[in-house]
């Protein structure tokens, strides 16, 4: 086998890691930098200058000529503005320059990024500030400095700022709990995240022939091929050479960028695949997932392929998600969601578990809103995607432990005594419960929760911001209670607290089949919310309890939340508007004419046949013509109506607009889709203007 990369040497070779920093920055300055990282104090300009100088030298040695502040605006993607290192010295000469000031703060023109009204038009400036907790890296000849992005008045305009604030909140509250359990060692607590990234890979030439794929990233019609995923022959199947070459290539790029790309396999749908990295701290995982998506798209292009990250590029086959594996760990690497061996460790584990379960129950609506956007609406509740109702799957072993606590009985029927928290150890909980419940939106998998609702294209910052914050809130509530309890009474209090929390929130625990129709009714009886669409979910984003939560933990101010709501609702409407216009265009300009053209040829055939034979011989042609004419009439009529609906939509605002887009625009698009699909199967391939699902899904 050809060996073209020494992974141990090249891993993170494009990243300014602490090890690299040690080579380029004086150790006295590194000591100061590390101290600031620990205490959260700000860096002095001298230290920033020293680090900037080191970064610049390293970047130039790697061939970089530019630097950029790399940030994550509310578009959901990343943004960068590159500045050359060059600085004139007079006499036509330049030097390569990069100061601490340039490292620490940038001033990109923010006027074209979504701000939701946070930025008055007279103050278009936005500021970017270095996030020293995430490593700088080199991409495409530029030194990229991860930054946060905010307005003149200090309000966040990005995904990263609230995420960092939520991590601080989680750290503060989790440390309080650990101290109550006598832990004096732990310096900080953070969440750990491993996002599994699903994607489709299709041929670039075919992609370029479809307006819908090019503009919307998904198909707006297409009849199902005779075979898709029913034989389950793609999932974990052997990877085709062209796909494998692509995967190897992007893995190499990711490794150089320090991304721990680990697992790759074929997914359920034809042409669908997955990449999973090894988990890391939440902030890095978020940055790295953005890099991963960028790299996967760029590398595909070099291979004549297109990497589709849309949630539902093809109707009728599985969509793509981004399973967000989430746990809470200490700086010493101890996983706080891992069942322990001693009674005290178990009590602590059960307390964190209770916090997670009850926080998800209390903030179902907020968590739901973090995965609410147009693309994900096409997926949630569909093939192999969790339903829009939030519930938690614990697995049978853990569920019976919880049940025994709630009901004061033994957990397996063999013990005479019920479990007493803080006194007894728990039964063994297998690390990876193999009876994986794929239909659950949130599943406990032994020592982490897998949140399966995020969509493949989205930033994981939003979901993790909420997971961190709701957990912090519950831990805060518990710490407030436990702080007041004398140490000899702590075990009793813990037992009561855990028992009452599980009792109060057990409705969110569901081990059954989330796809089952009866679950909708059952969930309704339990009082769980069911927001099937973005429009519905966003109605609750600004509920007072959600705003209070974010304010209390200093994650987002009310105005930041109001702005976000505005941006998300507007984006939802914009996406649907673009899709609807694309569909109108494709149907009017290509599909209706193609159908008419074939009809014309059938008319001529029928006329020719009539000259030679009597009527009976023209039946097939006549029937086809009748069906096609009916399709064309329907398409023309629906497209007209869709145009009118779009006009009407533009006169509405906010939630009303979103509701209208969902109820009217989307449903017209669905009706057009079925008329087009009907026509597609009646027409010979040579008349059909677009690549079909068979071609798109089976040609790589
Ligand atoms: P599966 O597809 O069976 O769910 P994978 O191995 O594909 O499993 O993905 C599991 C993901 O969970 C990986 O990204 C892995 O690094 C991550 N993970 C494992 N342990 C933890 C943990 N303690 N906290 C967060 N993520 C974790
Ligand atoms: Mg998984």
Q: Which ligand is nearest to the CA of 195?
A: 1
Two tokens, residue 615 = 């009527």
**CA nearest ligand 1 atom 11, residue:** 194
* Residues by chain with Cβ below 5 Å of ion ligand 2: 196, 323
Per-residue pLDDT band for 508 (boundaries 50, 70, 90) equals: very high
Distance 310 CA to ligand 1 centre (A): 22
397 versus 50: which is more confidently predicted?
50
In this prediction, residue 6 carries a pLDDT of 85
pLDDT beyond 80 at 198: yes
H or E segment and range at residue 651: none
By the 8 A CB rule, do 607 and 621 touch?
no
Distance 567 CA to ligand 2 centre (A): 30
Which of 568, 469, 552, 456 has the alpha carbon at shortest distance from 164? 469
Helices (H), 587-692: 592-612, 619-649, 654-660, 667-680
| Ligand 1 site, CB within 6 A | 192-194, 196, 263, 276-279, 325-327, 335, 447-448, 450
Residue 612: phi, psi to the nearest 5?
-100, -40
Ligand nearest to the CA of 288: 1
**Residue from 279, 337, 430 whose mutation best tests the ligand 1 pocket (most atoms within 8 A of CB):** 279
From residue 213, alpha-carbon distances to 218, 588, 690 in Å are: 5, 17, 11
pLDDT digits (tens, 9 = 90+) for 279-317: 999 999 999 999 999 999 999 999 999 999 999 999 999
Q: How large is the average pLDDT for residues 181-193? A: 95
Q: Which DSSP letter does residue 125 get?
A: B
pLDDT of residue 416: 52
Q: What is the pLDDT of residues 413-440, one digit of tens each?
A: 555 566 777 777 766 666 655 456 778 9
- Has residue 7 got a pLDDT over 90? no
Q: Give the pLDDT confidence of 237-271 residue by residue, as tens digits.
A: 888 999 999 999 999 999 999 999 999 888 888 99
Top-confidence residue, 234 or 625:
625
User: Of ligand 1's atoms, which has the minimum distance to the CA of residue 193?
Assistant: 25
Distance (Å, whole) CA 437 – CA 274: 19
φ and ψ at residue 414, rounded to 5 degrees: -90, -35
Mutation test residue for ligand 1: of 235, 325, 460, the one with most atoms within 8 Å of CB: 325
Range with the poorest average pLDDT among 194-208, 411-425, 588-602, 622-636: 411-425
Please tell me the distance between residue 375's alpha carbon and the centre of ligand 2 in angstroms.
20
Only one residue has tokens 């063999």, namely 414
Pick 562 or 88 by higher pLDDT.
562
Average pLDDT of the segment spanning 559-586: 96
- Across the range 181-210, mean pLDDT stands at 97
**What domains, with CATH codes, occur in the chain?**
11-158 (3.10.20.70), 322-555 (no CATH), 571-697 (1.20.120.1560)
pLDDT tens figures, 111-169: 778 888 776 655 667 889 999 989 999 999 999 999 999 888 888 999 999 999 999 99
pLDDT tens track for 82-120: 999 998 888 888 888 899 999 998 887 777 788 887 766
Q: Output the CA 278–ligand 1 centroid distance in Å.
A: 7
Instruction: State residue 434's pLDDT score.
Output: 45
Q: Decide if pLDDT at 582 tops 60.
A: yes
pLDDT beyond 90 at 617: no
Percent of the chain beyond pLDDT 70? 95
Distance from Cα 207 to the centre of ligand 2, integer Å:
28
Q: Quick check: 699 and 240 in contact, CB under 8 A?
A: no
- Taking the CA of residue 263 as reference, the ligand 1 atom at the shortest distance is 7
This prediction has a pTM of 0.95
Nearest-angstrom CA–CA distance, 507 and 532:
19
Residue 9, class by beta-carbon neighbours within 10 Å (0-12 exposed, 13-18 middle, 19+ buried)?
exposed
Ligand 1 binding pocket mutation candidate from 170, 276, 321, 438 (most atoms within 8 A of CB): 276
What is the structure's pLDDT at 123? 65
Ligand 2 center to 276 CA (angstroms): 9
Q: Which two tokens stand for residue 395?
A: 């697995």
Read off the pLDDT of each residue in 321-333 and give the average, rounded to a whole number.
Answer: 96
Cα(212) to ligand 1 centroid in Å equals 34
Instruction: Compute the distance from residue 438 Cα to the ligand 2 centre, in Å.
Output: 9
**CA 354, 392, 374, 690 torsion-angle sign:** positive
Model confidence at 505: pLDDT above 60: yes
**Separation of alpha carbons 416 and 448, rounded Å:** 30
Q: What is the pLDDT of residue 436?
A: 64
Q: What is the pLDDT averaged over residues 35-60?
A: 90
Which residue in 115, 270, 92, 289 sits closest to 196, CA to CA?
A: 289
Nearest-angstrom CA–CA distance, 82 and 694: 42
**For the chain, what is the mean pLDDT?**
91
How many CB atoms are located within 10 Å of the residue 152 CB? 15
């Amino acid at each position: 086998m050809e060996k073209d990369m020494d992974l141990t040497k090249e891993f993170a070779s494009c990243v300014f890691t602490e090890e690299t920093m040690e080579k380029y920055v004086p150790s006295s300055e590194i000591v100061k930098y590390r101290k600031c990282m620990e205490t959260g104090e700000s860096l002095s300009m001298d230290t920033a200058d020293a680090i900037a100088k080191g970064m610049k030298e390293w970047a130039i040695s790697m061939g970089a000529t530019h630097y950029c502040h790399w940030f994550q605006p509310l578009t959901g993607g990343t943004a960068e503005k590159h500045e050359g290192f060059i600085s004139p010295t007079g006499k036509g000469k330049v030097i390569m320059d990069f100061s601490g000031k340039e490292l620490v703060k940038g001033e990109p023109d923010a006027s074209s990024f979504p701000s939701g009204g946070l930025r008055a038009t007279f103050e278009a400036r936005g500021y970017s500030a270095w996030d020293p907790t995430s490593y700088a890296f080199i991409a495409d000849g530029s030194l990229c400095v991860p930054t946060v992005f905010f307005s003149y008045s200090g309000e966040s305009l990005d995904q990263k700022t609230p995420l960092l604030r939520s991590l601080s909140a989680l750290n503060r509250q989790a440390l309080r709990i650990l101290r109550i359990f006598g832990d004096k060692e732990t310096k900080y607590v953070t969440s750990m995240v491993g996002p599994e990234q699903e994607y489709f890979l299709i041929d670039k030439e075919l992609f370029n022939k479809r307006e819908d794929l090019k503009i919307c990233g998904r198909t707006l019609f297409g009849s199902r091929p005779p075979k898709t995923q029913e034989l389950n022959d793609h999932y974990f199947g052997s990877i085709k050479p062209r796909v494998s070459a692509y995967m190897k290539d992007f893995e190499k790029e990711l490794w150089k960028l320090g991304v721990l790309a680990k697992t790759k396999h074929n997914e359920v749908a034809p042409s669908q695949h997955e990449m999973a990295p090894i988990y890391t701290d939440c902030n890095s995982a978020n940055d790295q997932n953005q890099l991963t998506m960028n790299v996967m798209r760029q590398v595909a292009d070099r291979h004549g392929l297109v990497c589709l990250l849309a949630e539902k590029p093809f109707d009728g086959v599985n969509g793509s998600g981004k399973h967000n594996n989430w746990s809470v760990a200490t700086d010493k690497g101890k996983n706080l969601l891992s069942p322990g061996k001693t009674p005290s460790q178990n009590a602590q584990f059960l307390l964190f578990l209770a916090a997670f379960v009850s926080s998800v129950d209390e903030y179902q609506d907020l968590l739901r809103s973090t995965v609410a956007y147009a693309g994900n609406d096409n997926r949630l509740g569909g093939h192999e995607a969790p339903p829009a109702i939030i519930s938690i799957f614990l697995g049978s072993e853990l569920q019976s432990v919880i049940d025994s606590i709630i009901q004061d009985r033994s957990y397996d029927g063999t013990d005479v005594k019920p479990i007493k928290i803080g006194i007894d150890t728990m039964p063994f909980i297998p690390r990876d419960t193999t009876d994986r419940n794929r239909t659950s939106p949130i599943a406990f998998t032994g020592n982490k929760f897998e949140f399966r609702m995020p969509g493949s294209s989205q930033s994981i910052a939003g979901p993790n911001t909420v997971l961190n914050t709701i957990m912090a809130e519950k831990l805060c509530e518990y710490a407030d209670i436990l702080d007041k309890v004398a140490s000899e009474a702590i075990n009793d209090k813990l037992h009561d607290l855990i028992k009452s929390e599980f009792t109060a929130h057990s409705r969110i625990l569901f081990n059954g089949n989330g796809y089952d129709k009866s679950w909708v009714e059952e969930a309704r009886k339990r009082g769980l919310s069911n927001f099937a669409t973005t429009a519905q979910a966003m109605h609750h984003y600004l509920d007072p309890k959600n705003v209070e939560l974010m304010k209390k933990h200093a994650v987002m101010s009310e105005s930041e939340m109001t702005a976000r709501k505005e941006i998300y609702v507007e984006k939802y409407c914009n996406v649907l508007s673009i899709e609807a216009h694309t569909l109108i265009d494709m149907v009017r300009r290509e599909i209706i004419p193609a159908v008419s053209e074939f009809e014309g040829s059938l008319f001529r055939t029928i006329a020719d046949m009539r000259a030679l034979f009597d009527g009976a011989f023209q039946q097939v042609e006549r029937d086809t013509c009748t069906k096609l004419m009916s399709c064309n009439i329907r398409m023309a009529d629906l497209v007209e109506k869709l145009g009118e609906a779009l006009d009407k939509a533009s006169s509405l605002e906010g939630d009303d607009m979103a509701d209208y887009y969902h109820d009217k625009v989307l449903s017209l698009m669905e009706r057009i889709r079925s008329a087009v699909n009907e026509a597609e199967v009646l027409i010979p391939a040579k008349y059909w203007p677009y690549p079909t699902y068979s071609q798109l899904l089976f040609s790589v």
